[in-house]
């Protein structure tokens, strides 16, 4: 795949940051729906795949590599959702979110092995700055009650699968269109989650409607924007830019749900935005 121009790379970075900003609103959707875990994840996955299906090319993906990427991404996304929702259910949300957002660090570590690309010094410096900003944003000192160890392990497990999903999507972008990556992996993940969802309590029509609305905006639309951006940005930089998501989530909780704002949250948000801006200014490889 030919190198992108710096302007195209910057648009790709902005697309990833915009998608992550939309994903930061998922907490409001889950709050309104009152449903989480595999039930919510399954409804969202099937809605994303079905709503975005008209954008699919009029052909099936071809080759073992293409289908390997799709099944791998679907499996990784299903495991990511299962572990992350369980982490949020079991223990303090700050611990769950922070451990989950170890994923960009894992992506940066995996990039040289998978793509033969060494992340730039800007990326390596931006990763710990973003992680520090996230810790300040979520106020780990006020984590509260809960099984911290189990929550951290579940969150870290979800980070492994989240990182694997991002790397696979980056690899699949060489042979698959964003629509193919989005739709087929969502259907595969939905099928994998279905047995766990059926074992849970069925949601009300209102709850299902909220989840479907969130899936259309935060799944189909934001997912398409993200995958387009990922075609023009290397995986390590994309990982850093996703730290915008928890920042938006905290802001939405404060403004809409009147959640308390940690004292150092503004500093944490500034660190995340600053790290993202430094990464976006970096030209295409």
Q: Which of 83-87, 143-147, 196-200, 242-246 has the highest mean pLDDT?
A: 196-200
Q: Within the chain, where are the H helices?
A: 6-23, 26-33, 37-52, 64-90, 93-100, 103-115, 121-138, 148-172, 178-198, 205-214, 222-230, 235-241, 244-257, 265-281
Predicted pLDDT of residue 4: 62
Confidence of residue 75 (pLDDT cuts 50, 70, 90): very high
How many domains are there within the chain? 1
Q: Percent of the chain having pLDDT more than 90?
A: 21
Predicted pLDDT of residue 209: 94
Who wins on pLDDT, 184 or 61? 184
In this structure, is residue 211 part of a structural domain? yes
pLDDT at 192 over 90: yes
In this structure, is residue 112 part of a structural domain? yes
What is the arithmetic mean of pLDDT over 109-124?
Answer: 71
Q: Which of 21-35, 102-116, 138-152, 207-221 has the highest mean pLDDT?
A: 207-221
In this structure, is residue 237 part of a structural domain? yes
In this structure, is residue 1 part of a structural domain? no
DSSP secondary-structure letter at 61? Answer: -
Predicted pLDDT of residue 264: 79
The whole-angstrom separation of Cα 156 and Cα 96 is 8
132-146 confidence digits (pLDDT tens): 887 787 676 555 555
In this structure, is residue 168 part of a structural domain? yes
In this structure, is residue 141 part of a structural domain? yes
Predicted pLDDT of residue 283: 45
Predicted pLDDT of residue 212: 94
| H, E, C per residue of 154-202 | HHHHHHHHHHHHHHHHHHHCCCCCHHHHHHHHHHHHHHHHHHHHHCCCC
Identify the three-state secondary structure at position 48: helix
143-171 confidence digits (pLDDT tens): 555 577 787 888 888 888 988 888 888 77
Task: Note the pTM of the prediction, 2 decimals.
Answer: 0.75
Predicted pLDDT of residue 46: 94
Cβ(210)–Cβ(26) under 8 Å? no
Predicted pLDDT of residue 189: 95
Q: Which domain holds residue 267?
A: 6-281
């Amino acid at each position: 795949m030919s190198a992108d121009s710096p302007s195209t790379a910057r648009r790709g970075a902005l697309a990833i940051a915009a998608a992550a900003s939309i994903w930061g609103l998922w907490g409001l959707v889950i709050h309104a729906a009152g449903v989480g875990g595999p039930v919510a994840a399954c409804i969202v996955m099937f809605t994303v795949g079905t709503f975005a299906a008209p954008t699919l090319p009029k052909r099936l993906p071809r080759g073992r590599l293409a289908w390997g990427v799709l099944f791998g991404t679907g499996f990784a996304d299903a495991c990511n959702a299962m572990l992350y929702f369980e982490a949020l259910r079991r223990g303090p949300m700050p611990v769950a979110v922070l451990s989950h957002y170890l994923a960009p660090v894992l992506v940066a570590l995996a990039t040289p092995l998978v793509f033969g690309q060494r992340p730039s010094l800007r990326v390596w410096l931006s990763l710990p700055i973003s992680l520090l900003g996230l810790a300040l944003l979520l106020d780990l000192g006020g984590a509260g009650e809960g099984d911290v160890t189990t929550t951290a392990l579940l969150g870290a497990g979800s980070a492994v699968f989240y990182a694997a999903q991002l790397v696979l999507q980056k690899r699949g972008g060489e042979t698959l269109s964003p629509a193919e990556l989005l739709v087929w992996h969502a259907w595969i993940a939905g099928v994998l989650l279905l047995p766990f969802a059926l074992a849970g309590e069925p949601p009300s029509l209102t709850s299902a409607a909220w989840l479907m609305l969130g899936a259309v905006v935060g799944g189909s639309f934001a997912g398409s924007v993200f995958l387009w951006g990922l075609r023009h940005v290397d995986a390590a930089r994309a990982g850093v830019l996703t730290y915008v998501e928890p920042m938006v989530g905290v802001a939405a909780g404060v403004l809409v749900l009147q959640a308390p704002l940690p004292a150092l949250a503004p500093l944490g948000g500034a660190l995340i935005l600053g790290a993202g801006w430094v990464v976006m200014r970096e030209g295409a490889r």
